[in-house]
Amino acid sequence: MTEIDTRLRENVHLLGALLGETIRLEHGDAFLETIERIRKGAKAARRGSREGAEQLANSLDGLNAEQVLPVARAFNQFLNLANIAEQYHRVRRRRPGEVQPFEDQALTCLLQRLKSTGYGDDALARQIGRLDIELVLTAHPTEVARRTLIQKYDAISAQLAELDHDDLSSVEQEQTRQRLQRLIAEAWHTEEIRRSRPTPVDEAKWGFAVIEHSLWHAVPSFMRGVDTALHQATGLRLALDAAPVRFASWMGGDRDGNPNVTAEVSREVLLLARWMAADLYLRDVEQLATELSMQRASDAMLARSGDHPEPYRQLLKQLRDRLRATRAWAEASLREPQPAPPDVLQDNAQLREPLELCYHSLHECGMGVIADGPLLDCLRRAATFGLFLVRLDIRQDAARHAAALNEITDYLGLGRYADWDEEQRIEFLQRELDSRRPLLPPYHQPSGETAEVLETCRVVAQSPAAALGSYVISMAGAPSDVLAVQLLLKEAGLRRPMRVVPLFETLADLDNAGPVIERLLGLPGYRRRLHGPQEVMIGYSDSAKDAGTAAAAWAQYRAQETLVRICREQEIELLLFHGRGGTVGRGGAPAHAAILSQPPGSVAGRFRTTEQGEMIRFKFGLPHIAEQNLNLYLSAVLEATLAPPPTPEPAWREMMDRLAADGLQSYRQVVRDDPQFVDYFRQATPEQELGRLPLGSRPAKRRAGGVESLRAIPWIFAWTQTRLMLPAWLGWEAALGNALARGESEALCRMREQWPFFRTRIDMLEMVLAKADGAIAALYDERLVEAPLLPLGLRLRELLQQACRAVLELTGQQQLLGHSPETLESISVRDAYLDPLHMLQVELLARARRNDVQVEGALDQALLVSVAGIAAGLRNTG
């Protein structure tokens, strides 16, 4: 056991002991002994002990109704505390001689490698300076923990950092331990699950809180690290306005299938972002006004400040007043829309100019050490976040735009847009886009749904360009889907360019993405309206739900290749927007590996991707963790741009064609063709109960129907709760199994060694298979599934074992993740806490269904706590 593992184990033990003491104080020694008996039984059962399994089952069966909730809470809280310890472990203080984490040295090592391959100093500095990476924060219905509790968890992590000093006196150690005890007690006595669904505005506020408490602090430190690495490698510095990583958001803008996101909600969220940005900058500027008391200043500075003994303070106080005015206007506008007074900041240059003037003056006067402190941090924030904090994307389903246009053309007596073929639609849309007259008369009274679409477009038209990101069209499948949005925006009064982004989600749409974009780029006038790169969004979640991850991953790869080729031929810049989720089943993968596995040429200095709810907290919830992940994004995008992966060999393509075809057939035979599947899914998983729980602002379904109507997130989440993890691996058992049976193992191994795309797919498949557990899934079947459907569950568990055997044969291991014992231990150590939660959840689901009513009161809460605990234990759950 290494020292690092020992320190992590000590922290887990400490937090667990403090939690146990908290539980004992409320419920007594006997209850704590029950918790410990359950844990030991689960641990022994995992090792194959029949006595341990019986002890676990008997202990859980012996719980009365009043004990179920606190038992569920105990195991849930321990898993959250284990996550805190593990997360802190990644960023803990390194002792002399200890190797620094890969995340902290990735850029430095990459720059050395790039220089050794012939890249010059100027080229490297220029490429870093123009990187365009945008992380799009999205709400996530499986992020069930309350903000209040998340803040307590962050405070616990801070206390672990306080404890991480060898020179602490015994008194200091005890004081820190007492603070930890108090924080854990506060967490224990805080209800961990929200009682009502969050609104879209609540979700946006959660996103703003991540910025305020973490990213606001992480970004300047991250930029200092980038600047230092660049200077050490090249002798050059980053420009003051460099912002290689920026942030956007879907929270309050994603209305796809969510009737709770309205035009008014988007307007409110935009104003809240203005208010929050002004408030955060105000804190910075007030601090700077206190610190910059110097008298010496440049001529340019003195010309602005006038004859004042403290010119920096004078200028900063003027900026402070404008920030106060901006904040006050935004707050007043939340109550009632009103025009902005002249002193409200409207453009980021108005924020940056006085700060830059102070910065250059200090350097000119020999006070660069002062300039490069908090003032530089503020300038870095201004470049990254601007006056609007995050750019709000708007997302809507293509069918909503088509329905609005159908109503409009019908009203105008032009026919029914819905009945026109693609050529008729394009002709009409092109003609109207080129027309100088309005499409609709002012007295037109649209239906409610069309009015909402038009009002959303008016919000876009009335908002500053810098406040908005892209307009994303879900389920796009034709050029007319893009032109339709452009026309509706024009009709709403938008007179500036805005990126209108088709999102290709299903297997068929991914295959058709290239021809759609090629046709668009060839339409008269389209390029004139483009004004920048052609952005295209690749949907990982729905394509995987449609076809399985084997076929979907290959379709996503091929679609990107085709788009790169078409845009290169058309001499148009391409920006690919990756709609990834946190799980393998939704395209999830460690960011660094995922970026380096993209097709060559697809990451050309630009990269846009979603970051979703619970993964936002795990990757960006603490400043140092956020800094590490920003380092990974920047170094991966830089490497993929300057040293892209190899083009796959023709034989690899043929192999992937076969793998994808076999995977697609196997996946759809189960999910689409088996008449029992939908019934089995709804009985074997908590899917129906999840739909009633207050997990997010949007409904679990886009529309009535079966699996095809489910959103990808609850589809994945339901299978994760039972540990079958079906969407992440189904299809691979046939794809790999058939290839191995054909004697193609050598070719597969060569692909895994030499092709980052294939290696990443197999690595993530292995990870999810290590987390899957057929025995746990069988428990759900035994208690919840009707007898005629049980053979299907058995068959699926057999397919799971086939997938495991195929991966082991391919990797040459005796055990999944045998090459990564630390990861394997991290997963296995949680099982003693996860197993009781699974068993409790099965019992609660059985009770609810037996009574044919929703479980009420404490048992209802216990069910939700079990959901949250399993999500915490498995981390990337939705």
Indicate which residues carry an active-site annotation. Answer: 140, 545
Residue ranges in 755-786 assigned as alpha helix (H): 756-771, 774-784
Per DSSP, the three-state class of 63 is: coil
Q: Measure the CA–CA gap between 381 and 315, rounded to whole angstroms.
A: 19
19 is written with which tokens?
């939690």
Contact 52, 41 (CB under 8 A): yes
Give the chain's end-to-end CA distance (angstroms, integer): 33
Per DSSP, the three-state class of 260 is: coil
Residues sharing a CB contact under 8 Å with residue 826, sequence separation 6 or more, in sequence order: 86
Helix (DSSP H) and strand (DSSP E) numbers for the chain: 39, 8
503 forms beta bridges with 537
Among 637, 618, 597, 774, smallest CA distance to 82 is for: 618
Among 199, 147, 152, smallest CA distance to 697 is for: 199
The values of phi and psi at residue 48, to 5°, are: 95, 10
Concatenate the DSSP letters of all residues of 831-873 into one string. HHHHHHHHHHHHHHHHHHHHTTS---HHHHHHHHHHHHHHHHH
Q: How far is CA 382 from CA 148, 282, 377, in A?
A: 28, 12, 9
Per DSSP, the three-state class of 135 is: strand
By CB atoms closer than 10 A (0-12, 13-18, 19+), residue 332 is: middle
Contact 835, 45 (CB under 8 A): yes
Report angle CA 291, 217, 633 to the nearest 5 degrees.
140
Helix (H) or strand (E) holding 126: helix 121-129
The 3-class secondary structure across 576-592, one letter per residue, is EEEECCCCHHHCCCCHH
Q: Measure the CA–CA gap between 743 and 734, rounded to whole angstroms.
A: 14
